[in-house]
Structure 1
Amino acid sequence: MIIKKLFSPCSIMLVIYCGFFSTIANANDWYSQNDDKQHTGASFVIGAASEVYFDNLIYSNATCMTVGLAKEVRDQIAYHGFSKSDLGYDAVGCITGTLLSRFVMRGLSLSASGNSFALNYTAKF
């Protein structure tokens, strides 16, 4: 079951997109001042998306950190710039994204009726 999810077309497209995006994001100035924000933000999005896809905190965090590690390996090969601090920012983004996706976003719902919209949050205790 998990093997089918790992090799689904969506997973393959996500890996290709992340690889392509990482080459664009760091083509010119990989020591930018916004690097920590970029790592945290990208990892947040990847973590939240993988949590929605896998519905499992362990798989989603592992997937997210694998993408971050692959990016750092790519930086080492291309620029001799493997950064442990970037992996730390990746971890913060991954954990925050997966937890927010799991415990906050699952309770949100949007409904529309005529000219009005309603945003509802449901929490089960």
Structure 2
Amino acid sequence: MMKKISSLITTVLYSSIFAIAPAANANNWYSQRDDSQHTGASFIIGAGSQIYFDNLLLSNATCMTVGLAKEVRDEIAYNGFSESDLGYDLVGCVTGTVLSRFVMHGLSFSASGNAFSLNYSARF
């Protein structure tokens, strides 16, 4: 359980990069902010579901279901379903699950007193 919690903490730290990164092809400030929020949130959901399920297909399906549900809600509430947002969700989901599976899987977090360490191990 501690390994899952430490992996989730690491995922949140790395995901902050995606949450603040501006979109390359956005036309205005709101669009930039919305695109990076979709990518960042999907990254976190994808990585978290990968840590929980430990299955790439199920993790990506779970992540995209959340994104699709959000767009259906936007359509009902604001008449604003966006295929572009789903595309950014897909990028975040795939990136989050793959990085969680293959890169962050070797990360571990430990704390003792008022010190903590972040370690990475890989086998070749």
TM-score exceeds 0.5: yes
Partners of 1:70 and 1:114 in 2: CA distance: 42
Note the 1:76-87 alignment, pairs <5 A. Answer: 76-87=75-86
Q: Which runs of 5+ in 1 are unaligned?
A: 1-30
Match of residue 68 from structure 2: 69
Partners of 2:113 and 2:70 in 1: CA distance: 46
Alpha-carbon deviation of 1:111?
A: 3.5
String of CA shifts for 1:1-36, please: whole Å, max 9, x gaps: xxxxxxxxxxxxxxxxxxxxxxxxxxxxxx933100
String of CA shifts for 1:36-79, please: whole Å, max 9, x gaps: 01100110010011001100000000000000001101111111
Partners of 1:68 and 1:113 in 2: CA distance: 38
Match of residue 106 from structure 1: 105
TM-score of the superposition, structure 2-length normalised?
A: 0.69
Match of residue 12 from structure 2: none
Note the 1:10-49 alignment, pairs <5 A. Answer: 32-33=30-31, 34-49=33-48
Q: Which runs of 5+ in 2 are unaligned?
A: 1-28
Alpha-carbon deviation of 1:105?
A: 1.3
Aligned residues: 95
Is 1:58 the counterpart of 2:60? The answer is no
Match of residue 88 from structure 1: 87
Residue type of the alignment partner of 1:121: Y
Partners of 1:75 and 1:63 in 2: CA distance: 19
